[in-house]
Amino acid sequence: MTSDTSDTPTTPDEPGHGISRKTLLRAAVAAGAAVPLLATGSIALARDTARSSAGRTLPPTPFCDDGDDPTPDQMEGPYFKPNSPLRTNLVTPGTAGTRLTVTGYVFGRNCVPLSGVLLDFWQADNAGAYDMAGYAFRGHQFTDATGAFTLRTIVPGLYPGRTRHIHVKAQAPGEPVLTTQLYFPGEPRNSTDALFDPALLMNVRDAGGGREGSFDFVLNVDGDEGPTDPPTDPPTDPPGGTWTAGRSYAAGDRVTYGGGAYRCLQAHTSMTGWEPPNVPALWRAGT
Ligand SMILES: [Fe+2]
């Protein structure tokens, strides 16, 4: 219903023209207002419907019926690195910082959960620094058969010019990449960071000495076919020639790049920077 674009971020104080119920709820949380809570103690998210309907194709939820928009995109920023490790836990024994577990679901526009969605997270460490030499606080994973994900990390530190945030790229099989950022409610800098968007607020609570956050992505994909199959591994697909950017590849496709052979692990549209050696989530070396 709305026509939000990434270069015109909304602010917490902006009137909600056509704004969705979920966005309003999150804006209220950001402002510290009391909002209606479910019995679970959390604000109502699409995930709650998913939990109650596990294993079945979901009917449209109120959050979709009332025009809930796909998760908005945000700029990538200067700190993304390809080739992140496949892992859901970014915490190591010596990691400083408040433990944070982020859970959620990835849905298509019709609120059907999407499995096999690539989620590539990166964030600052406790001191607000990004690891550009290695892969600390970087990791990719895939949503499970129910469309769910879990990220174990720490609350990212602040750095100049920005409010607290986590970066993420999300890509359903064969669909374009959504690059965006997740935000924390109650952060003083939310009101001064021009990139901040209340539609990207997580629901965050204290838990066991750490924090628990939740966020449901809504990707701008059809999702009519229900949960997607996990990446397949057909051994007989024909070779795909030399890898090129801007081409659609299917799971099992074989290409060559830089003198090496690679097999596609899940359908996607290739793009510069995601060459096969750089994206182990999408390409496996060898045949
Ligand atoms: Fe950042």
Cα of 64 from ligand 1 centre, angstroms: 29
* pLDDT at residue 186 greater than cutoff 50: yes
Cα of 111 from ligand 1 centre, angstroms: 28
Cα of 159 from ligand 1 centre, angstroms: 8
What is the pLDDT confidence band of residue 22, given thresholds at 50, 70 and 90? very low
Q: Of the given ranges (65-69, 152-156, 215-219), which has the lowest mean pLDDT?
A: 65-69
Give the β-pairing of 165-171 and 178-183. Answer: antiparallel
What CATH number did the domain enclosing 280 receive? 2.10.10.20
Q: With contact defined as beta carbons under 8 Å apart, do 20 and 69 qualify?
A: yes
* pLDDT at residue 10 greater than cutoff 60: no
159 with 99, same domain: the answer is yes
Domain span at residue 268 reads 239-285
Cβ count within 10 A of residue 79: 16
- For residues 40-65, give the mean pLDDT: 43
Judge whether 163 lies within some domain. yes
- For residues 21-38, give the mean pLDDT: 41
Judge whether 171 lies within some domain. yes
* pLDDT at residue 55 greater than cutoff 70: no
Cα of 145 from ligand 1 centre, angstroms: 30
Distances (CA, A) of 142 to 51, 86, 105, 113, 121: 18, 9, 11, 13, 11
Cα of 3 from ligand 1 centre, angstroms: 25
Cα of 285 from ligand 1 centre, angstroms: 30
Judge whether 42 lies within some domain. yes
pLDDT reported for residue 285: 84
127 with 267, same domain: the answer is no
pLDDT reported for residue 23: 44
What percent of the chain shows pLDDT beyond 70? 70
State how many domains the chain has: 2
Cα of 173 from ligand 1 centre, angstroms: 26
* pLDDT at residue 48 greater than cutoff 60: no
* pLDDT at residue 233 greater than cutoff 80: no
- In terms of average pLDDT, the best of 23-37, 53-67, 221-235, 261-275 is 261-275
Cα of 254 from ligand 1 centre, angstroms: 34
pLDDT reported for residue 53: 43
What CATH number did the domain enclosing 121 receive? 2.60.130.10
* pLDDT at residue 34 greater than cutoff 70: no
Q: How many residues does the chain have?
A: 287
156 with 213, same domain: the answer is yes
* pLDDT at residue 267 greater than cutoff 80: no
Cα of 167 from ligand 1 centre, angstroms: 6
> Which pTM value belongs to this model?
0.63
Judge whether 156 lies within some domain. yes
